[in-house]
Each structure stands twice: as structure tokens, then as C-alpha cells.
Amino acid sequence: MASQKVSHFITSTVLGIDVNERYSRLPQGLDERAKKALAPADIYLEDEPSISEWFKEQAPTKDDVIHYAQDLFPFATWIRRYGLNWLLGDLIAGITIGLVVVPQAMAYALLAQLTPAHGLYTSFTGAVLYWIFGTSKDIVIGTTAVGSLLVGQVIGHVEKSSPGQYTNEEIAHALSLMSGAVLLFFGLFRLGWIIEFIPYIPISAFVTAASITIMSTQVPAALGITGIDTRESPYKVMINTLKSLPNTKLDAAIGITSIFLLFAIRDVCSFMEARHPRMKRTWSYLSSLRLTFVMLLFTLISFLVNRGRSFDESKFRIVGTIEPGFQRANLPMPSTDLLGVIMPQLPAVAIILVIEHIAIAKAMGRQYNYTINPSQEIVALGAANIFSPFMGGYVCTGSFGASAVLSKAGVKTPMAGVFSALVLVLALYVLTAVFYYIPKAALAGLIIHAVCNLIAPPKKLYTYWQLSPLETCIWVIGVIVAIFDSLETSIYVGTALSIVLLLFRVARTKGNFLGRVAAQRIVHEKENFTQRSRSSSHTTLHSEKESRDVFLPLDRKDASNPEIDVESPYPGIFIYRFSEGYNYTNQAYHIDTLVQHIMEKTRRMSEEHYEKESDRPWNDAGPRKHKTHSDNLPYLRAIVLDFSSVNNLDITCIQGLIDLRNSLDRYSAPDAVEWHFANIHNRWARRALASAGFGFPTSQNSEALDSWTPAYSIATTLIETDAHINHNHPRERDIESDTICVEDPVEGQSSETEKGKVVNAPGGLSTDAKDVPATYSSGNHQPMAAIFGVDRPFFHIDLVDAVGVAVKDAENKDKKLQL
């Protein structure tokens, strides 16, 4: 007791806080009034959320900790059930993907301006780690064209800022460590949802632009042209390549032929799959091995041509010596200066790595009917990128092409990655002598073939245009920026434009003023009327019960039939629906829209009084010039706000409603405008509005309080008790959930006016129901209670409920004016 007094003294006297101020507009006895109105049905008083309750909800429980630990190592849920059938499928799939990844990894390493062995190191790391942390059986983590290109561009940036200070390998290792650390942080703290802020369109534009950039850098290598700086903007590389076409060498024969063979094998296998469906899997398997076949073919040709020649005397450029084993494995120790130089390039690299991986994982999950955990996938990606430099590799992420091959090879579990890692180990220790003769032009042809399919075709662009023309323009801008500047700028510009478009839509999307339409549902049924011809039938139309109220925009700018008659529910009542939420970015826009519309459609309750015209505020234009027109306008009675698209409310938008209420109360004085809210279910939003004085009739205006007709929505409760059964008032019909408009037992309103009115019954806002009492129990003897708190009677269950109560109160006010 003493502590409460001390607390009250500190808050009221020292801090000057009146904790009871929020109740100044709340009428007394709302609960007693509801008890008398609803008896024997129970009332319900709303339980507002507290700050301590919010903190308790955020604190992890013991079950949450256990669940987190289980999610962190998903392999523990399936490894105990691992059997021979799974082993056989994973073994075949792992060997297959290993054969595909070996040539692909060596080719992509050249994009990163590293030796081919670095690509093998990178793919090994992803394959050997993913099965521990991953949640997809169809993902292959390793080198990718886009990731390798980004590494090459980062190396170029570092060399420009610090020429000759760091080796390409040191830069690649440092970038991988930093990317892995960032990704692991986001994954461990389950922040994968942040990736959803990066929209699809900038990523699609980036992939297309990256594909064009990659091809522009590989065309000179495929043609044997030297002396072209492939680190420049793609358009410069293309121009320089065209100028250097006379310098084409013998490499062009290998490069062009390898590209032709890769596409030819793919198309022939696709044709045979369609021609012989029974052998579809065989042809698909052969198609997946085309990279390995072409590399072996041109390696054999290179061996026959260049054997006995030194590296410098080879007829065309070849890979050269590759160190066997993991001789580049070491403990990376990047300097702080190097980390600082790489830092500006890190966000773009991390974003692309995550998005590329998550997109592939989700696509595979949808295709094979399982769900991936995005945050856990980021954990797997982060762990692989941190561990990769220790083995001599660089950044890695999910590979679309390799993942597609893995899924078609009959993979059973993520364990297939271990078997593909064994193939990579075999390649590093046994086949490095063979890799010496691989032509670089063939690797360039392989890269060009791999990225061609990543370019968005015209058909997809047309689809984008049909879905959203503005976003299609963002896509085009992103591609153009990438071609004429860089990929990093492209992703930033595309994301920024998408966010600007989103903010514009949120901040400048108009709400809708709604009107009422009495709608009926017509059911089309076919009934057989002859046994001889079962196909013959006749059509009957059935109307489902009575008409029901629906609400459509008054301006008719929606998709409904413009010839349908939409009318205001009652003069002086305005229904407003927020189209895309209500928050601080758009509150001023919505408030201005409400004020302008209401002032045009209503008139003041009482005349303004100024001793002289100069006393009128400078920004007040004064009464309307055409007084005869304004006399025909109704008084402002109520505002009904549809919060179906609103969840959270901030202080700015609450203050906007308070200011608007105060302004409209002065406009409608001596009356008070009623504020009704529909479809507001967030407890914190309800608490905020109630603290601001919304949700109930104001006690500061006796006229408005006297005109209020209590109305509550009730439904059957979970527990049956005989105490709730009222045998004196049997119901004529069962009502599972209804809003009953009752006479006010406190204020003593006329029973002749209110008796027998059921507001918001099925079929309309107000339907006569003779001899339906205000107090009742359900016909099946189940107890009933108020659905929402009776201390917030202006927070309604739906729009029909809200409009019905507003109309009833407006009718009462107009009747009193007539008297």
C-alpha cells in the first residue's frame, strides 16, 4: 500500500503525469449497461496488453531453445534413418554431380581471376559442409558464374586502390571470410526475413546483366584475343572486342566448337526425351554430363596437339600446371587495411550470395514438395564461406545448374554432397596432370553456355510488363546501369528504385469512401429430369436467403460493375477504407482526404460567430457562397473507418486522428461526431486507440451519449452451464453470432422505438424481428457471451456491424431534432 502511494506521488506530483487522463472521455457504467442489456449472456471486458507482457512474449522459452538447437543441426533429424536405399541414390547422384562440378569449378575460377584449382577447393568446401547445416536435399554449394564474377570485380577494385599490395588469392580469401561472418551472424540470429526487403525485379535485372557481363568477358578468351581489359564496363569490353576481331587466333576454333557442341548435345537430348519418354531419365543424365564430355574431348585434342611442347609453345592457350592436392590450404590472416578496402564491396556480394542461394533452395523445395528454412540456409552458406579460405577457396553459394543436375540424378538426402566431395578430392590428387592440357577457350565456351540460359527472354519481359509496367521499367534501368557502369551500382539502383516505388504506393495511395449495396447470391444448379438422357438437364436459379450488405467505393473506380447503384448508408455518415495501411508516411494524406471530402459533403451544426470578419483566421475561407446549396447538405453524424488493411498504429497516425476528431467536434458542435472502427483486431492497436479516447461514446457530450443505442455482438461460448439458459425467453430461431440492438436500461429510451429491432442480422443493417427479446439464450441451450469487450462498443466485429450502429445512432439524433 505504501509503495502504491509512493508511486502515485512520484507520477502525479513529481513527474506531473495523470494516469487517469485517458479515462476522461470514457462514460461510466458501460459494463453495467451491457450486463442489463445482454443478460443472461455474459459480458466481456477487454484485457489490454501490457509492456511486461510484450517482453515476456519476446523472451525465449525452454522449448524455444531446444527447437533452436534442433534447427541448427537439421541432419540429426534424418541421419538416424539413413539406410542402404538412400545410400545408393546419394552415391549415384554425388558421383554425377562431381563429374559436372569439376569442369564447371575450374572454368568459374578463371572468372574470379584465380587458378582453376581454387574453383575445386571452393566446391569441395561447400559439398563437404552443407549436409550438416542445410535443409534442402537438392542444393549444391560451390562456385557460380555470378559469384566468381563478383570476386573478380572486387579484386579489380582492390588493385586499383592498392596496386601490387595484395595478391588475388589474399583478396579472395578475405572477401570470403567477411561474407561468411556476415551471413553466419544473420543466420544464427534468424534474420533471414531481412532478405525479403530485396525485391525480385532488381535481382532478375542483376542476373541478366551479370550474364551479359560474363559473356562479354569470356568472348575474348573464347576467340583467343588478348590485351582486352575485361574489368571495364561491359559496353567498353564489347566495343574493344569488336575492334580486336582481326586478332582472332586458333583458340577461336576450340571456343566456338565447344559452344556449338554443348548446345547441340543439350538440344538433341531434349528432343530424345520428348521422343522417347520411357528413356527420359537416361537422356537427361547424358545431357547433364555434356560439360564433362566436351572438356574431355578438347583436353584430348589439346594433348594430341601440344604434347612434347612447352607451355609457352602451345598452339593455343591452355590451363597449365595445377598443384595436386590441397597445397593452398592454410590459415588466412587478412590485414585490417585489406578488410577496410573490401568493406564497401561487401554488401553487394553478400546480398547476391544469399539471394541466389535462397531462390534456388525455395524453387527446389516447391518442385519436390518440402520446405526449407531460409535462416538455416544462411547458416550453411555462412559456414561454407568461412571455412572455404582455410581450404584455399573463395566465396561460394548455391549453383542453379548443378542443383538441377543433382535433383534429376535421384538424390535422396543432403549426404550426396559428401560423395561429390570425394570426386573432387580424386580430381585434385589424380587428374591434375590431365588438367594441364585443358584449353582456356573451351572453359570460356563452357561459361558462355552456362550463363546463356540466365538471360531473361523477351517472353518473360512481356510477362513483367503485363504484371507491372513500372517494375518492368526498373528492370530495364537496372540492366542498362550494369552494362554502362557496374553490377554493384545496378543492384543498388534497382533496389533503391523499388523501395521508392513501394514508399510512394504506401504514402500516396488514396483510401476509398464506401457506399452500401444490397447484394444477393444466386446459385446456378443443374438438375436431371429424365432417366433416359442423363446429359440433359435444366437450369434453376436459387437465391441464398436474404440480401446482405456489401460496401463498394463511391467513386466506382474499382473492378465492380459501374452500373450498380451504390448509395451512402445514411446522410452524414462516411465510411472510409484504408487501401494500403495507415502509418506515419501516409497519415497526413489520409487526414487531408477525409477533411476535404467531409467539408464538401456536410454543413455545420451551428453558425460561426465573429464580431467582425477580420477576426476570422487567415486560412479560413468562410462559409460557402451558395448558401442554398449548403442548406441541403446533412450534418456530420459519424465516421466509420475500415481497418481491415491496418495492423499496427504509430504515434503520428494516432495524433492525426486525435487532431481530426477535435477539429470535427468543433465543426459539429454542440453535437459530437461518432467514430466507429471495423476489423481492428491487433490488441496493441486497440489499446492505442482506446488510450486516445476512441472506441466508445464520449462522456464529454451528453447529447451524443443520450443518442447512443448500445449494440453488441455475441456468440456461443465453449462451456455449457444451466445458469446461462433462460427458459422464460425461448428463441424463435437460432443465432450463432448476432448483433442485438437493445433499449438502453440506464437512459430509459422508449421501448416502443427499440423493441423488436435486430441490427446487423443476416440480410441487412436493420431487420424487423418480431418478439425477439433483448435478453436471450441460444435455442440449443448453449451459453452466450459478448465476442469483444463491451467497454469498447465502437470497435466492431465487421463493417456491417459498424455501419449498422452508426446509422441507428444517426437516426436517433435526427428524430430528436425533429421533435
Per the structure block, which three cell numbers stand in for 305? 596437339
Q: What is the pLDDT of residue 783?
A: 85
Domains and CATH numbers, the chain: 75-504 (no CATH), 553-610+626-818 (3.30.750.24)
Angle at 659 between CA 656 and CA 664, to 5 degrees: 120
Q: Is 641 helix (H, G, I), strand (E, B) or coil?
A: strand
pLDDT digits 0-9 by tens, 307-340: 989 988 999 999 999 999 999 999 999 999 999 9
The span from the CA of 190 to the CA of 223, in Å, is 47
Q: pLDDT of 389-422, one tens digit each?
A: 999 999 999 998 899 888 888 899 999 999 999 9
Is 432 in contact with 424 (CB distance < 8 Å)? no
Distance of alpha carbon 552 from alpha carbon 564, whole angstroms:
10
Strand order, beta sheet including 573-577: 548-553, 512-519, 573-577, 638-642, 674-678, 795-796
Query: Are the C-beta atoms of 249 and 314 separated by less than 8 Å?
Result: no
Q: What was the pLDDT predicted at 758?
A: 30
3-state secondary structure 42-93: ECCCCCCCCHHHHHHHHCCCHHHHHHHHHHHCHHHHCHHHCCHHHHHHHHHH
What was the pLDDT predicted at 548? 86
The pTM of the full predicted model, rounded to 2 decimals, is 0.79
SS3 string of 286-336? HHHCHHHHHHHHHHHHHHHHHCCCCHHHCCCCECCCCCCCCCCCCCCCCCH
- Answer whether 553's CB lies under 8 Å from 513's CB: yes
Three-class SS state of 742: coil
- Which residue do the cell numbers 470578419 mark? 613
DSSP three-state, residue 785: strand
The full DSSP string for 537-602 is: EEEEEEE-SS-EEEEEETT--SSS-TTS--B-SSTTEEEEE-SS---TTTHHHHHHHHHHHHHHH-
Q: Are 740 and 759 in contact (CB under 8 A)?
A: yes
Residue type, 531: Q
Name the DSSP class of 246.
G
CB 802 within 8 A of CB 676: yes
Residue 377, classified by CB atoms within 10 Å of its CB into exposed (0-12), middle (13-18) or buried (19+), is buried
Nearest-5° Cα angle at 269, 266 to 274: 125
Q: Does an H or E element contain 740, and which?
A: strand 737-741
- Residue ranges of the chain whose pLDDT lies below 70: 1-9, 11, 525-545, 608-631, 719-781, 819
C-alpha cell at 582: 495507415
283 φ, ψ (degrees, to nearest 5): -65, -35
Hey, is 781 helix, strand or coil?
A: coil
The rounded Cα 57 to chain-centroid distance in angstroms is: 23
- Non-local (6+) Cβ contacts of 204 within 8 A are 456, 464, 475
Spatial separation of the C-alpha atoms in residues 211 and 702, rounded to whole Å: 72
Q: What is the pLDDT of residue 542?
A: 52
318/552 Cα distance (integer angstroms):
71
Q: Which residues contact 218 (CB under 8 A, 6 or more apart)?
A: 111, 444, 445, 447, 448
Tell me the pLDDT tens digit for each residue of 18-41.
777 777 788 888 888 888 888 888
